[in-house]
Chain A
Amino acid sequence: MKTLSEYSFLIVDDHLMMRQIVGQIVTHRLAETVHYATNGEEAWQRIISRLECNLIYDVIFLDWNMPLVDGHEVLLRCRARSEMNSTAIIMLTAESEERKVIQALKAGATAYITKPVATSTIDEKLEHICRWLENKREKQSPAAKV
């Protein structure tokens, strides 16, 4: 199983419990940069602050229903920023309707996970995300391949 030490994470959920569970999963796999936000507005502020320092989150776990700004809106704002094309955005939400899944994927979500979910499923999803990030990085820096 790949370690996550080279990636930065933002976990956005209004419930401490979910932030804690997802945080434990990524830190268990040695992720070092793990930030948290309790709503969409706080998440967006964190994302912007990081962009201002030329830093980009590699992976964002995003709940859908949150106060102030919801997860879908954060997703749209992220995808409107070209710098964030290679950020993996995982919607992790209790919203399970097909139209919501389609709406999220159309808006640019990299993956969609419906709560409740087994922690092993999140782990498996992270494996896919790691490969997705590696592919993105290779494409963005072809010189490195040579």
Chain B
Amino acid sequence: MPMARKQERKTIPGGESINSMTTSSSMVTSLKLDKVLAQMCVTAVNETLTNMLAMKVEFFDVRINEPHGLARGTISGIMPMVQGRTPEANMILTFSHEAVSQIVQAVYGSDVSMNTDILRDSVSELCNMVYGSLKRQLNNKGHGYNPGIPTVAFGDEHTIGYASGGQAMTTIFKANGSSVVLMIHLTPPPYETEMSKQINKLHVQ
């Protein structure tokens, strides 16, 4: 299946360094879209695809708050990132058709057809593992992310973007030459209500 958009290695637009891109002070979240988080994403994807599935994973690019910084692929796992009771971000793991085909073949063998159940199960578990690694790294830095349950979305050449006012970091990989994208999308501030603030306060106490 051809890639809809040719990906080329490039620098962060506007000459902004990854370090300088942080969330605004009004953000609910303490999560920062920066080089540290990008490195954590790289580690999480490597730990999962290289260690568990023996895939050759190459970091390709990172894009922060770019209009075209979309996750694009055939199947996506979406994991809410919740601290206390507050949903602070979504982690979206998107595979191209080629990438997910290789994973299914590596795990189940080449004679297994890629049915919806197998794909959903595989991407859901990969999402669990990538999030597990990311959560472990973030929690080691003082965050307190909870376990989550992923949702899986299908669709040839679908894209997942982010709402206006939200912020997103898209980390792009080549796994055995095929596209894998990990996007962290911060929940925009309006989603924090007075009620959720109070519930979160109670939860912390």
Contact = CB atoms under 8 A, between A and B. Distances in A.
Interface of A: 15-18, 20-21, 65, 94-97, 114-119, 121
Interface of B: 47-48, 51-52, 54, 107-108, 117-118, 121-122, 124-126, 128-133, 135-136, 139, 147
A15 B117 CA distance: 11
B121 A96 contact: no
10 contacts: A16-B118, A16-B122, A94-B135, A96-B136, A96-B139, A115-B52, A116-B48, A116-B129, A118-B51, A119-B54
Nearest to B147: A65
Interface of A is mostly: loop
Interface of B is mostly: helix
B52 A118 contact: yes
B133 A116 contact: yes
A117 B124 CA distance: 16
Contacts of B126: 17
B128 to A, nearest CB: 5
Contacts of A121: 51
Given A15-B125, A116-B47, A116-B48, A94 B132 contact: yes
